[in-house]
Structure 1
Amino acid sequence: MHVPDGFIDVPVSVAAGVVAAGAVAVSLRGARRELDERTAPLAGLVAAFIFAVQMLNFPVAAGTSGHLLGGALAAILVGPYTGVLCVSVVLLMQGILFADGGLTALGVNITVMAVVTTVVSYTLFRGLAKILPRTRRSVTVSAFVAALVSVPAAALAFTGIYALGGTTDVPIGKVLTAMVGVHVLIGIGEAVITALTVGAVVAVRPDLVHGARGLSAPLKLRVGGELVDAAPAATPAPVPVAARSPRGLWAAGLVTALVLAGFVSFYASANPDGLEKVAADHGIDRKTEEHASADSPLADYGVKDVSDARLSGGLAGVIGVSGTVAVGSGIFWAVRRRRTAAASPSTGSAVGGNA
């Protein structure tokens, strides 16, 4: 759903940019409360993983494909404020390096794909968490539903922005019907990817999943063919899971992202995604402008002067994942350090006062 330059007029694009900048500013402050020494590097990994999976377009209808938006996944794994930043980093990297999503439309894309998806999905996720049992299965089910709803919500948001500043004269009713209809289908794919990913991480490290904080994971024993909770052992307590290093999960996640972007992406659907298809069918793309980064050596997810398509796309994917994890990790470590620095003066004052 990357909006290119030319779909939305300048005044509305500027207004969306202001909204996006405000949301990012609020998220930078909010992320200080969500990030700690264990989750800060994982936030960079989440951004890189979203970048990789967005390269894997999947077919949803005749001649149409979809891809992960990632707002729900990021919000549930690392928190809603950090989630907005994760998706924003991905969109920034895609726009500058890969000419995917217009630079003048960056505010529109952040508003639609980062802010709307994150706010809608996490609000719904937390609502479901209050009424469902606190179990791993409930977390996965809640993630599925939240991700499913977030995609048509983003399509609805784009339609509203187009109604305010669309550069072509297309009846808004047709845009609304087409956008929401196809993105409901894309939402199913989003929900499956999100639920599988969240479920996999919750199964091994629930303490690292923001949306699963406090989730207990008792030892299970099979008795009479049924799984039951084991009685607490009368032995010294083991090292708390929260004290374990996340390096293993981080390494596994990075390898997975590199494989998806560097190899699996070659087999992704070549059909236009939902927005591209709707735009072509209804004439929304009549005033599309050439991307400012069209001459980038990585434009269109290929490496310039590398003739082999498989190798070119794979290298571009690996470069994208590596760059995203580096930039994202740097940003999140900086946010984490600001939280530590902000806490230090108060700590020092308290110590001085007690002296």
Structure 2
Amino acid sequence: MHVPDGFIDAPTSLATGAVAAAAVAVSLRGARRELDERTAPLAGLVAAFIFAVQMLNFPVAAGTSGHLLGGALAAILVGPYTGVLCVSVVLLMQGILFADGGLTALGVNITNMAVVTTVVAYGIFRALVKILPRTRRSITVAAFVAALLSVPSAALAFTLMYAIGGTADVSIGKVAGAMVGVHILIGIGEAAITALTVGAVIAVRPDLVHGARDLGQRLQLRVNGELVDAAEPVGPEPVAARTSRRGLWIGGLLTSLVLAGFVSFYASADPDGLEKVATDHGIDEKAEDHAYADSPLADYGVKDVDDARLSGGLAGVIGVGLTVVAGTAVFWSVRRRRTGADTSPAGTSV
């Protein structure tokens, strides 16, 4: 759902840019309560994983594809404030390095894909967690439903923005119906990816999943021959916990590199939901070329590398690497600094 330049007029783009900037500023402050030395690297990994999975367009209807937006996944794994920042980092990297999403439309894209998806998804997720049994399966089910509903919510948000500042004279009713219809289908894919990923992390380290704080069963680690609750303050992080966390990070990074560097070659080449609706309904009438359309990594390929598989794979690997570095740097800088009276990581009581 990356909106290119020219879809939305300048005043609306400026307004959404202000909204996005305010949301990022609030999220930077809120992320300090969600992040610490243990969870900041995980947030960087989440951003890199979202970047990788967004390269995997999957077919949803005849001639239409979709891809992960990532707001629900990020919010559940690392918290809503950090989740907004995760997706924003991805969008910034995509817009500047890969000519994906217009630069003048960056505020539109952050508002739609980072803010709306995260706020809607996390609100639905927390509501479901409160009424469902306190089990790992409930967390996964809540993640599925939240992710599913977050995608058409973003589609509606875009339609509202287009109704206010669209550059073509089109039927907003028809656009809304088409956008919501196709993005419900895309939401099913989003929900499956989100639920599978959240379930996999919970199975390994539920104490690191922000949305699993209310689980009744705590993760236990064997330290010096004794079982210790991983969420209890026990001074320095136990070696077993540190090793487990490092293994999760390495495994997640390798998975992201494989997805972006190899699996992405087999992604659907069909236009995504927004592109399809834009073509069918004339929204793209005044679309503009990206300012960085000739950049070395534009369109997720390395310039002057003729082999399509190698070009796309290298671009994906570079994107994952740059995103994990940029994301980790951001989250490390805003992390909550632990004190002697506060040795447990934010959001790890489960």
Q: TM-score, normalised by structure 1?
A: 0.90
Partner of 1:340: 337
Structure 2 CA distance for partners of 1:36 and 1:218, relative to 1, 3 Å: closer
Deviations 1:46-79 (A, max 9, x none): 0000000000000000000000000000000000
- 1:177 matched to which residue of 2? 177
One-letter amino acid matched to 1:240: D
1:278 corresponds in structure 2 to 277
1:32 aligned residue: 32
Once the two structures are superposed, residues 218-237 of structure 1 have per-residue CA deviations (whole angstroms, 9 ceiling, x without a partner) of 79xxxxxxxxxxxxx9x974
Contact 2:207–2:218 under 8 Å retained in 1: no
In 1, are the aligned partners of 2:218 and 2:230 still within 8 Å (CA)? Answer: no
- Matched residues in 1 for 2:42 and 2:291: separation? 32
The alignment status of 1:240 with 2:229, answered yes or no, reads yes
Aligned to 1:256: 255
SS in 2 for 1:65: strand
1:217: Cα distance to partner? 3.9
Partners of 2:44 and 2:216 lie apart in 1 by 26
Contact 1:207 1:214 in 2 (8 A): no
Per-residue deviation, 1:214: 4.1
* In structure 1, C-alpha distance between the alignment counterparts of 2:276 and 2:61, rounded to whole Å: 10
* C-alpha displacement of 1:213: 1.3
CA RMSD of aligned residues (A): 1.9
- SS of match in other structure, 2:169: coil
Secondary structure (helix, strand or coil) at the match of 2:337 reads helix
Match of 2:158 in 1: 158
Distance in 2 of aligned mates of 1:135 and 1:166: 45
Equivalent-residue separation in structure 1 for 2:190 and 2:42 (angstroms): 21
Q: How does 1:110-121 map to 2 (within 5 A)?
A: 110-121=110-121
Deviates more, 1:206-215 or 1:147-156: 206-215
1:60 partner SS:
strand
Any unmatched runs of 5+ in structure 2? 232-236, 343-350
- Contact 1:116–1:153, Cα closer than 8 Å, also in 2: yes
Q: For residues 4 and 23 of structure 2, what CA distance do their matches in structure 1 show?
A: 21
Aligned to 1:9: 9
1:36 is displaced (CA, Å) by: 1.2
Name the SS of the counterpart of 1:37 in structure 2.
Answer: coil
| Equivalent residue letter for 1:193 | I
Supply the AA of the counterpart residue of 1:333.
Answer: W
Question: Over residues 258-300 of structure 1, what are the superposed CA-to-partner deviations in whole Å (9 max), with x where a residue is unaligned?
Answer: 0000000000000000000000011100100110111110000
- CA displacement at 1:239 relative to structure 2: 3.7
In structure 1, distance between residues paired with 2:138 and 2:169: 45
Identity of aligned residues (%): 80
Cα deviation code 1:149-172 (max 9, x no counterpart): 000000000000000000000010
Partner of 1:302: 301
Cα deviation per residue 1:230-260 (whole Å; 9 max; x = unaligned)? xxx9x97424334411111000000000000
From the CA coordinates, give the structure whose radius of gyration is larger.
1
Aligned 1:67-106 pairs, distance under 5 A: 67-106=67-106
Give the residue type in structure 1 aligned to 2:299: D
- Whether the 8 Å contact between 1:84 and 1:114 is mirrored in structure 2 is yes
1:110 positional shift: 0.1
Cα-to-partner distance string for 1:26-58 (whole Å, 9 max, x where unaligned): 000000000011110000000000000000000
Deviations 1:306-342 (A, max 9, x none): 0000000000000000000000000000001xx439x
Show CA shifts across 1:78-129 (max 9, x none).
Answer: 0000000000000000000000000000000000000000000000000001
